[in-house]
Amino acid sequence: MKIIMLGAPGAGKGTQAKMIAEKYSIPHISTGDIFRANIKNGTELGKKAKTYMDAGQLVPDELVVDLVIDRFKEDDCKNGYVLDGFPRTIPQAEALTKALSAIDEKIDYAIDVDVPDENIVNRMAGRRACVGCGATYHIKYSPTKVEGKCDKCGEDLIIRDDDKPETVLSRLEVYHKQTQPLIDYYTEQGILKSVDGTQDMKDVFQDIINILGE
Binding-site ranges for ligand AP5 (CB under 6 A): 7, 9-15, 31-32, 35, 52-53, 57-59, 64, 85-86, 88, 92, 123, 126-127, 136-138, 141-142, 162, 171, 197, 199-201, 204
Q: Is 88 a catalytic residue?
A: yes
When CB distances are held under 5 to 8 angstroms depending on the partner's kind, the choice from Mg ion, ligand AP5, none that residue 7 binds is ligand AP5
How far does Cα 177 stand from its chain's mean position?
17
Task: Give the Cα separation of 45 and 199 in Å (integer).
Answer: 36
CB neighbour list of residue 53: distance below 8 Å, 6 or more residues apart: 32, 35, 39, 59, 161, 162
Question: Which residue's Cβ has the minimum distance to Mg ion?
Answer: 14
Packing angle between helix 61-71 and helix 44-54, nearest 10 degrees? 120
Q: Out of Mg ion, ligand AP5, none, which partner does residue 134 contact, by CB within 5 to 8 A per kind?
A: none
2, 36, 123, 171: which one is catalytic? Answer: 171
Nearest distance in Å: CB 44, ligand AP5: 16
C-beta atoms surrounding 58 within 10 Å: 20
Smallest gap from Cβ 34 to ligand AP5, in A, equals 8
CA 97 to chain centre: 18
CA 88 to CA 65: how far, in whole Å?
A: 10
Question: Counting contacts by CB under 5 A, is residue 197 touching Mg ion?
Answer: no
Query: Which residues is 5 bridged to in the sheet?
Result: 84, 111
> Annotated catalytic residue: which of 2, 36, 88, 128?
88
From the CA atom positions of the chain, what is the Rg in Å? Answer: 16
Residue 47 CB-density burial (10 A; 0-12 exposed, 13-18 middle, 19+ buried): exposed
Catalytic residue among 13, 36, 123, 128: 13
Is 78 catalytic? The answer is no
Active site residue 36: no
14 lies in the site for Mg ion, by CB under 5 A: yes
142: partner contacted, choices Mg ion, ligand AP5, none (Cβ within 5-8 A by kind)? ligand AP5
Per partner kind, with CB cut-offs from 5 to 8 A, the member of ligand AP5, Mg ion, none near residue 123 is ligand AP5
> Which residue, 65 or 124, has its beta carbon nearer to Mg ion?
124
Q: Is 12 in the site for Mg ion (CB under 5 A)?
A: no
The entry of Mg ion, ligand AP5, none near residue 157 (CB within 5 to 8 angstroms by kind) is none
The answer to whether residues 54 and 48 touch, using CB atoms and an 8 Å cutoff, is no
Which residues form the catalytic set? 13, 88, 127, 160, 171
